[in-house]
């Protein structure tokens, strides 16, 4: 194990993240890219949905508001979408354009502005954001596939440290700032034996903890009746907000197979090295995953991980879907077995701010049901308990949460859907009841309009790195599909919170190609 160390958000040159690829990874990536003109193939793919923060940005927030229409924008759409959930790439989106030498190019460009105004502080803030995601696939029997996901931001005005709008963006040396979220190449070396040979900056979700690094991943094709698969990966760890080039590294191997026709077992070993910038150290994770499908409608999964030879956590989940009844039931259980303290960054990134994270368990249940064309119901509960009452703290608490959302499709003219949410929180520290409401109308074939309100105990904005507490939000939003590839959107929010009352206006355009 290693002692944790502070993570600096110091000022640094603009676009510094674009030079953040490790030397070895950059060399490998450029070598692969140099060969892409020699091959070619089928369209590559990518996910670029709005409003989803990058999985690499590990931010823990608590939204006090049950899932409801409109609330998703509490997480600002300035961050690019999470990458594909499979090592094999994502499904194609948007049109596929012709590329030189018969290859294909697909992706999206999202540009948006955000203006904010504070009533009591008589302050305002204006920023510009852009996200570009693209896949290029060369032609030929053995194609090279290049995937890129970039984000840039420009602060149109500078905020002083005492400003109510002062944030991470204002700590940088220059107003312009950019980041590379993904930049990798799938090489054609994969064949009958290898189904994946990837080099560059990548993110893997299936590992015991999310792996985000500059390096290489290899994975074999399934073999035999048990579909045996082996994979390996390794490289320099990526931490986007550090102001120095990371010398940390991670690596691992994994294997999966089907012991019976409806089951799958996966075993992982993952090694995490710490940065010598603050003292060397490392951690080793071992994980066991078991999945089984009792039928096409009922699926269960269990995970158990060990950290440096000792039990770390255990989780179980199940999903039951009855299409004929339009009913879905999901249940999950998680238990942290040991305290999380002085570990490598990927395992406890907020140790310096939140200190030791003590053992707890959490149970969740959600049910959704559709009643014809007139009513849709979604409800559930979360129950969380800290193992030892003496360990309860500000960021580690006991609570019971119950929520229900009712949607009434086409209740009013203009194909208007009404959604209403009720939520109840019960804990030793707080008892909170909240509500949310959304009205969404289809104005014409290409235009939708929404208005409503929701409550957030903590509301986080990924674009500006800001968090607000005890916020009641009212919003109006319009989206228009200007063409098959272009979407326009505008959103106004009025936010009532203890420190001030805020107005915000967001304008955006997304082009898919």
pLDDT digits (tens, 9 = 90+) for 237-295: 998 877 666 678 899 999 999 999 999 999 999 999 876 555 557 889 999 999 999 99
Cα(303)–Cα(58) distance, integer angstroms: 21
* Lowest mean pLDDT across 52-66, 94-108, 299-313, 417-431: 52-66
* Residues in a beta bridge with 497: 500
The answer to whether the beta carbons of residues 237 and 246 sit under 8 Å apart is: yes
Cα(247)–Cα(36) distance, integer angstroms: 29
Between the alpha carbon of residue 412 and those of residues 69, 151, 180, 409, 479, the distances in Å are 17, 40, 45, 8, 19
Higher-pLDDT residue of 152, 412: 152
Cα(402)–Cα(396) distance, integer angstroms: 19
Query: pLDDT-based confidence at 43, cuts 50/70/90?
Result: very low
Residue 53 has pLDDT above 80, yes or no: no
pLDDT digits (tens, 9 = 90+) for 433-472: 999 999 999 999 999 999 999 998 777 766 555 667 788 9
Mean pLDDT of all residues belonging to the chain: 79
Note the pLDDT of residue 397. 73
The pLDDT of 43-48, averaged and rounded, is 30
* Residues in a beta bridge with 360: 386
Note the pLDDT of residue 270. 96
E strands in 355-446: 360-371, 375-386, 399-412, 416-426, 431-444
Q: Which helix (H) or strand (E) holds 232?
A: strand 229-237
The pLDDT of 329-356, averaged and rounded, is 78
* Lowest mean pLDDT across 103-112, 165-174, 326-335: 165-174
The pLDDT of 392-414, averaged and rounded, is 82
Q: What is the DSSP string of 305-328?
A: EEETTEEEEEEEEEEEEEGGGTEE
Q: Which helix (H) or strand (E) holds 109?
A: strand 104-118
DSSP assigned state of 75: S
Higher-pLDDT residue of 422, 54: 422
Ramachandran sector of residue 74 (left: φ over 0; alpha: ψ -120 to 50; beta: rest): alpha
Q: Kindly list the structural domains of the chain, giving each domain's residue range(s) and its CATH number in brackets, ordered by start.
A: 358-513 (2.40.160.10)
pTM of the model: 0.75
């Amino acid at each position: 194990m290693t002692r944790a160390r502070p993570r600096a958000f110091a000022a640094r040159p603009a676009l510094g993240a674009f030079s953040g690829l490790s030397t070895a990874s950059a060399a490998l990536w450029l070598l692969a890219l140099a060969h892409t003109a020699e091959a070619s193939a089928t369209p590559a793919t990518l996910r670029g949905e709005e409003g989803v923060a990058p999985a690499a940005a590990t931010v823990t927030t608590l939204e006090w508001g049950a899932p409801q229409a409109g609330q998703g924008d509490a997480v600002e759409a300035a961050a690019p979408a999470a990458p594909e959930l499979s090592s094999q790439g994502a499904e194609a989106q948007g049109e596929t354009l012709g590329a030189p030498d018969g290859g294909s190019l697909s992706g999206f460009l999202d540009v948006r502005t955000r203006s904010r105004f504070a009533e009591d502080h008589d302050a305002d803030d204006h920023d510009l954001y852009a996200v570009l995601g693209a896949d290029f696939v060369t032609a030929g029997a053995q194609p090279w596939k290049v995937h890129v996901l970039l984000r840039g931001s420009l602060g149109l005005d500078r905020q002083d440290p005492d400003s109510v709008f002062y944030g991470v963006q204002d700590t940088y040396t220059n107003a312009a700032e950019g980041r590379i979220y993904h930049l990798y190449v799938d090489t054609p070396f994969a064949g009958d034996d290898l189904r994946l040979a990837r080099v560059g900056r990548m993110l893997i979700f299936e590992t015991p903890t999310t792996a985000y690094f500059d390096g290489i991943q290899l994975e074999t094709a399934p073999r035999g009746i048990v579909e045996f698969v082996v994979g390996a990966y390794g490289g320099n760890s990526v931490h986007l907000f550090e102001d120095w080039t990371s010398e940390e590294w991670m690596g691992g191997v994994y294997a999966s197979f089907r012991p019976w026709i409806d089951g799958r077992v996966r075993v992982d070993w993952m090694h995490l090295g710490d940065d010598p910038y603050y003292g060397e150290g490392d951690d080793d994770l071992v994980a066991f995953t078991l999945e089984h499908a009792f039928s096409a409608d009922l699926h269960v999964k269990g995970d158990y991980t060990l950290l440096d030879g000792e039990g770390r956590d255990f989780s179980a989940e199940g999903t039951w879907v009855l299409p004929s009844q339009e009913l879905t039931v999901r249940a999950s259980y998680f238990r942290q077995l040991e305290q999380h303290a002085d570990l490598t960054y990927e395992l406890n990134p907020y140790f310096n701010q939140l200190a030791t994270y003590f053992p707890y368990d959490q149970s969740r249940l959600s049910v959704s049901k559709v009643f014809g064309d007139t009513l849709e119901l979604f409800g559930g509960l979360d129950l969380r308990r800290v193992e030892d009452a003496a360990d309860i703290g500000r960021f580690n608490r006991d609570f019971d949460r119950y929520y229900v959302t009712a949607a009434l499709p086409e209740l009013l003219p203009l194909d208007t859907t009404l959604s209403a949410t009720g939520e109840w929180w019960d804990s030793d520290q707080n008892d909170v009841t909240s509500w949310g409401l959304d009205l969404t109308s289809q104005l014409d074939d290409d235009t939708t309009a929404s208005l409503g309100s929701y409550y957030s105990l903590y509301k986080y904005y990924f674009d500006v790195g800001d968090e607000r507490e005890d916020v009641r939000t009212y919003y109006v939003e319009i989206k228009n599909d200007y063409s098959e590839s272009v979407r326009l959107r505008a959103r106004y929010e009025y936010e009532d919170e203890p420190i001030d009352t805020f107005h915000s206006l967001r304008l955006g355009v997304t082009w898919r190609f």
